[in-house]
Chain A
Amino acid sequence: MIAIEYILIIGASLIILSIAIAKLFDNLGVPTLILFIGVGILAGSEGPGGIYFDDAGFAQSIGIIALIFILFAGGLDTNWKSVKHTAWHAVSLSTAGVFLTSIFIAVFLTVFFDFRFILGLLIGSIISSTDAAAVFSILRSKNISLKGKVKSILELESGSNDPMAVFLTVGCIQLLTIPEKTVLDIALLFIFQMGLGSAFGFLFGKGLVILINQLKFSYEGIYPVFTLAFAILVFGFTTLLNGSGFLAVYILGLVVGNSSFVQKRSMIRFFDGLAWLSQIAMFLTLGLLVFPNQIIAVIGLGLLISLFLIFVARPLSVFLSLSLLKLNWREMTLISWVGLRGAVPIILATFPMLAGLPDAEMIFNVVFFIVITSALLQGWSLPLAAKWLKLDEPFKPKISYPMEFNPSEDSDTEVIDLIIPYNSQITGKTLAELDFPADSRIVMIWRNEKCIIPGGGTILETGDALLILVNKNNIERVKEIITPIHPS
């Protein structure tokens, strides 16, 4: 047994290294997935790190836990109002689209490589889900955003297609390992899984919001922890009852994120951080798990599947599943092109290993290679594709207000907002003329919906609202300065 401090030092160093490398490559638009996995590979037994790790079960557990957090955080951060109008597109892509992609891959592997159809379908299912977070982080690093519907379709699709891919993968493994299972069983299971998953996600989401609003915890930090435990519980229960736990946590996040409750802001921050930690931990683990030497053997097959997926399977399934939903060809082409594969396929690729399928090693290596090529090829060309299709627009950062300030209890300084009284004699004067006490400041002036950071020459107007920092002992003095009123 290695001493705990070694494990901690190694784990923490890998995380810090990953973050540092992500920062270093920030402007190059390389998907963070590639970078984090790269760190994992280098730390692994075939890299300078030399850490030998081949515990697929452990990697899968990390992957599943990470995915719970990532999906919940994704739902939490999705503004339902702004994506609602694309809900049908997304649902269509994440059900019919995912299914078609898997079928096309299966046909391709059966016809050209003599695979058993179900085995082909298994590989197709594993690589069928997309990762929009990767897409948006690449775009953000290039300071562009996508126009109109495309953005929200991709956002919603990538959150909702993971449960479908998980389901298909598990379904195929059942067909391969349990002889008496029929396709009909799997179809019924599908309806049950998705039905129960969405119902539980929705109901527990509503319940959680009521709970958060009713329970008055004394410490703000308790709220996210409570929510975290609740989300894990919902995943566990839903899965236990044969429902789709992943769908349940995603919907749970959606419902909670779009309700109003007191500690929402701190909650979103907490889960944003947790999602990052999950991503890094997951990619590092997957990087450690893979043995690059074994990948070389499957490069030919992997590359062909990749190219088929990128140029045939994804576009065909996108165009087919969106055919009824009025989108123009440019939008559909872009959606086809940004079908980046992320971590989910690699996690799913550990499923056959644990199920003891004979081809599990080959499947894992092929999937790993496909994910890397998709992330590299589509990731890099993404900004260009958006530009060509004229669907790019400048990235607008989230509106952040100039100040968030909580006065500290042990200081004499108060922050107060103040409206200049009507007919006050200070209107028309510059700040320099006011003779404000030295330890008090007008920090901000709001006027006509705009914020002014004042200087000595700024002239005050009637209707201005001020944010002032003022020493408690000087409040009377400030009052004396602003109160003299002109006779009206």
Chain B
Amino acid sequence: MKLFELLKEEFVVAQLQSSQKEDVINELINLFKNDPRVANLEKVREAVLEREKIMSTGVGKGFAIPHGKTAAVNDILAAFGKTKSPIEYQALDSQPVNLIFLLVGKDNLVSRHIKLLSRISRMMNKDDFRGKLIEASSKEDIIELFKKEEESYFEV
């Protein structure tokens, strides 16, 4: 399963409207509103916020990856957004966050879910990739960046 294939245009936001942690997460979750793979959007919200409550998913360097698993979806869904300016996210390195990747998976796809988390984490750890994402101004550019980065990730 490729990340850039999960990131359809409708799931990418070049500039998020919200500036509070929970609002930003909600804004991304709402992108799944009309997706047939989602049986219940509120359950998705619950799962993601619940996981966030246990431990912040702000993993440092301005990047956060809110995620959750729930029976209310039947696949793995992803969304990505950038905030206008860095926001307070209670990140583990206490730095503000501006790049946010949301991953929602069906509850019994545990391994596939973690595998993607690990891949995203590796990719986002690269300074130049984060830099390019911050500069990108359109959805298309963002998806293209993910595509290229993921390809080079698999070449290594």
Q: Which residues of A approach B to under 8 Å, CB–CB?
A: 213, 216, 220, 260-265, 401-406, 414, 416-424, 444, 446-449, 451, 462-467, 475, 478-479, 482-483, 485, 488
Q: How many inter-chain residue pairs (CB < 8 Å) link A and B?
A: 109
- Point out the residues of chain A lying under 8 angstroms from B65, CB to CB: 419
Q: Are A406 and B107 in contact (CB under 8 A)?
A: yes
- Point out the residues of chain A lying under 8 angstroms from B63, CB to CB: 422
Q: Are A479 and B111 in contact (CB under 8 A)?
A: no
- Point out the residues of chain B lying under 8 angstroms from A406, CB to CB: 107-108
- Point out the residues of chain A lying under 8 angstroms from B73, CB to CB: 262
- Point out the residues of chain B lying under 8 angstroms from A467, CB to CB: 110, 114
Shortest B2–chain A CB gap in Å is: 12
Shortest A280–chain B CB gap in Å is: 28
CA distance A465 to B61 in the complex (A): 17
CA distance A122 to B62 in the complex (A): 75
- Point out the residues of chain B lying under 8 angstroms from A418, CB to CB: 55
CA distance A261 to B55 in the complex (A): 31
Q: Which residues of B approach A to under 8 Å, CB–CB?
A: 36-37, 39-40, 51, 54-55, 57, 59-61, 63, 65, 67, 71-75, 92-93, 107-115, 117-122, 125
- Point out the residues of chain B lying under 8 angstroms from A423, CB to CB: 60-61, 93
Q: Known contacts A421-B93, A465-B118: does B61 contact A488 (CB below 8 Å)?
A: yes
Q: Are B118 and A447 in contact (CB under 8 A)?
A: yes
- Point out the residues of chain B lying under 8 angstroms from A447, CB to CB: 118
Q: Known contacts A447-B118, A485-B60: does B51 contact A216 (CB below 8 Å)?
A: no
Closest residue to A464 on the B side, CB-wise? B118
Q: Are B122 and A463 in contact (CB under 8 A)?
A: yes
CA distance A488 to B127 in the complex (A): 11
CA distance A95 to B109 in the complex (A): 40
- Point out the residues of chain B lying under 8 angstroms from A483, CB to CB: 92-93
CA distance A405 to B113 in the complex (A): 12
- Point out the residues of chain B lying under 8 angstroms from A478, CB to CB: 55
Q: Are B107 and A475 in contact (CB under 8 A)?
A: no
Q: Are B125 and A417 in contact (CB under 8 A)?
A: no
Shortest A227–chain B CB gap in Å is: 15
Q: Which of A262, A422, A448, A485 interacts with B72 by CB under 8 Å? A: A262
- Point out the residues of chain A lying under 8 angstroms from B93, CB to CB: 421-423, 483, 485, 488
6 A-B pairs with least C-beta separation: A465-B118, A401-B111, A463-B122, A422-B60, A465-B117, A446-B118
Q: Which of B51, B54, B115 interacts with A465 by CB under 8 Å? A: B115
Shortest B96–chain A CB gap in Å is: 14
- Point out the residues of chain A lying under 8 angstroms from B75, CB to CB: 260
Shortest B44–chain A CB gap in Å is: 12
Closest residue to A444 on the B side, CB-wise? B114
Closest residue to B108 on the A side, CB-wise? A404
Q: Which of A264, A405, A414, A422 interacts with B110 by CB under 8 Å? A: A405
Q: Which of A213, A414, A464 interacts with B39 by CB under 8 Å? A: A213
CA distance A405 to B69 in the complex (A): 11
Q: Are B110 and A401 in contact (CB under 8 A)?
A: yes
Q: Are A417 and B67 in contact (CB under 8 A)?
A: yes
Q: Which of A260, A419, A449 interacts with B57 by CB under 8 Å? A: A419
